[in-house]
A and B are shown apart, each in its own frame.
Chain A
Amino acid sequence: MYATSYHRPSSISEAAALLAATDEAKYVSGGMTLIPTMKQRLAAPAALVDLRHVADMKGIHIDGSRVRIGAATPHAEVAASSALRSACPAVTVLAGLIGDPHVRHMGTIGGSIANNDPAADYPALALALGATIVTDRREIAADDFFTGLFETALEPGELVTAITFDLPEKAGYAKFRNPASRYAMTGVFVARRGGSVRVAVTGAGADGVFRQADMEAALAGNWSADALSGIAVPSSGLLSDIHGDSDYRANLVKVMAKRAVLAAG
């Protein structure tokens, strides 16, 4: 790891000010991606601004049909939330599939969303639920937020403070894990709200998380796993690596989508 410096704000405004005051500074929340990346010397922030002590960025709030999860809320807290489990169990299932117990104790939803790792789970949830990414400057629709591999609509220094979304009628998540890293080799989140269905795929796309329009149309007409049987998932645009080529991933997209629908009920 290269040398760095460390700052610990207790409010969003203090965090933003600290970040602005230092060149090459980065926010760190759980650090489950950033710290290992720094250890490999693939990232070299001159300063770290720690968000774990910003109280306004923590916690899960359900107000009627609106859910707000503070960006610094750890995965373990989301996975264990009984309120979320009764309101939308797919969210807790997804959070409980991220990393391992120790990673879930540290890693946060905001870090996952802002990093936009192509194999991360939360981007699929945000996209499928049509979530809103709340920052210290504005609100960004998930459809506009994820712009490519490790790329988002965030401006330099912009801080994700919360994720909000309306509860769906039905939602499900199915994940096929990379046998080595346990990240998503393919993860599919499906959600239905009114007549509208959204299907978001992570782990498979060469450009990161994406929506599968054919499946959305099929499921909007017939909410069942069988509705997906006739859909041919193209392998173009999908990732290929030693664990799975694009043909295999195309198959997984379909299989995981079916399983997500079954899980959603």
Chain B
Amino acid sequence: MAKVTLTVNGRTVSGECEERTLLVHFIREKLGLTGTHVGCDTSQCGACVVHMDGHSVKSCSILAVQASGSTVTTIEGLAGQGELHPVQAAFKEHHGLQCGFCTPGMVMTAVDMINRHGGNLDEATVRAELEGNICRCTGYHNIVKAVLAADAEMSAGRQAAE
């Protein structure tokens, strides 16, 4: 057994787990944060995407012990209680989700994408950047719309703040 210490959604948490425990299982089972999902075994679908030290990663392909000491943000920590992050709001506004299972990974991916490309996204870039996330419900049409809308809104917000 190993001790794992993480800062998750702004809170420092520690727990014992087997060394073979994946980060996603640590998050879901030890921390009870079940918004992060598992949709495949081969690191393809992206339902498990969280941010680790500011970057999107697939928590199904990282051991919890590897992540120990890191800062992790999950879907539950993206916005304040009862609030929606602009990306979450855009997914709702543009119907970028149906069954909701891929959604947390999609949203975390979109936030990372906007962080890296801020204000410069176009449809082709968004589609290319979604390579690591599979959705079976939406045909991606409205996900792409939502990401572009969130990018525009967040970029306008940044400009207004400057």
A residues contacting B by CB (< 8 A) are 1-6, 28, 31-32, 35-36, 38-40, 48, 50, 52, 76, 99-103, 105-106, 181-182
Residues of B within 8 A of A5 (CB): 19
B19–A105 CB distance below 8 A: no
Can you report 6 residue pairs joining A to B where beta carbons are below 8 Å apart?
Answer: A6-B2, A32-B43, A36-B61, A48-B63, A102-B132, A106-B58
**From B131, which residue of chain A is reached at the shortest CB distance?**
A100
A48 to B132, CA, bound (A): 26
B63–A101 CB distance below 8 A: no
**From A53, which residue of chain B is reached at the shortest CB distance?**
B69
Q: B11 contacts the other chain (Cβ, under 8 Å)?
A: no
Contact of A101 among B22, B61, B132 (CB under 8 A): B132
**From B20, which residue of chain A is reached at the shortest CB distance?**
A1
B63–A36 CB distance below 8 A: no
B109–A102 CB distance below 8 A: yes
A101 to B131, CA, bound (A): 8
Residues of B within 8 A of A38 (CB): 20
Residues of B within 8 A of A101 (CB): 56, 109, 112-113, 116, 129, 131-132
CB within 8 Å of A: which B104-162 residues: 109, 112-113, 116, 129, 131-133
How many of chain B's residues have a CB under 8 angstroms from any CB in A? 30
Contact of A6 among B22, B55, B66 (CB under 8 A): B66
**Contact flag A6-B132 (CB < 8 Å), given A102-B46, A105-B57:** no
**Contact flag A35-B62 (CB < 8 Å), given A101-B109, A102-B49:** yes
A31–B66 CB distance below 8 A: yes
Residues of A within 8 A of B46 (CB): 100, 102
A36–B43 CB distance below 8 A: yes
**Contact flag A3-B55 (CB < 8 Å), given A101-B129, A101-B131, A102-B46:** no
Which 9 A-B pairs rank lowest in CB-CB distance, beginning with the nearest? Answer: A100-B132, A105-B55, A6-B65, A100-B131, A1-B20, A6-B19, A35-B61, A102-B58, A102-B56
**Contact flag A4-B43 (CB < 8 Å), given A31-B62, A101-B131, A102-B109:** no
B132–A103 CB distance below 8 A: yes
CB within 8 Å of A: which B26-44 residues: 41-44
A220 to B39, CA, bound (A): 48
**Contact flag A106-B62 (CB < 8 Å), given A2-B20, A32-B43:** yes
A31 to B66, CA, bound (A): 9
**From A3, which residue of chain B is reached at the shortest CB distance?**
B20
Residues of B within 8 A of A181 (CB): 44
A5 to B52, CA, bound (A): 22
Q: B76 contacts the other chain (Cβ, under 8 Å)?
A: no
Residues of A within 8 A of B57 (CB): 102, 105-106
A50 to B63, CA, bound (A): 11
Q: B18 contacts the other chain (Cβ, under 8 Å)?
A: yes
**From B48, which residue of chain A is reached at the shortest CB distance?**
A102
**Contact flag A35-B63 (CB < 8 Å), given A3-B20, A105-B55:** yes
**From B58, which residue of chain A is reached at the shortest CB distance?**
A102
**From B113, which residue of chain A is reached at the shortest CB distance?**
A101
**Contact flag A3-B113 (CB < 8 Å), given A99-B132, A106-B57, A182-B131:** no
B131–A106 CB distance below 8 A: no
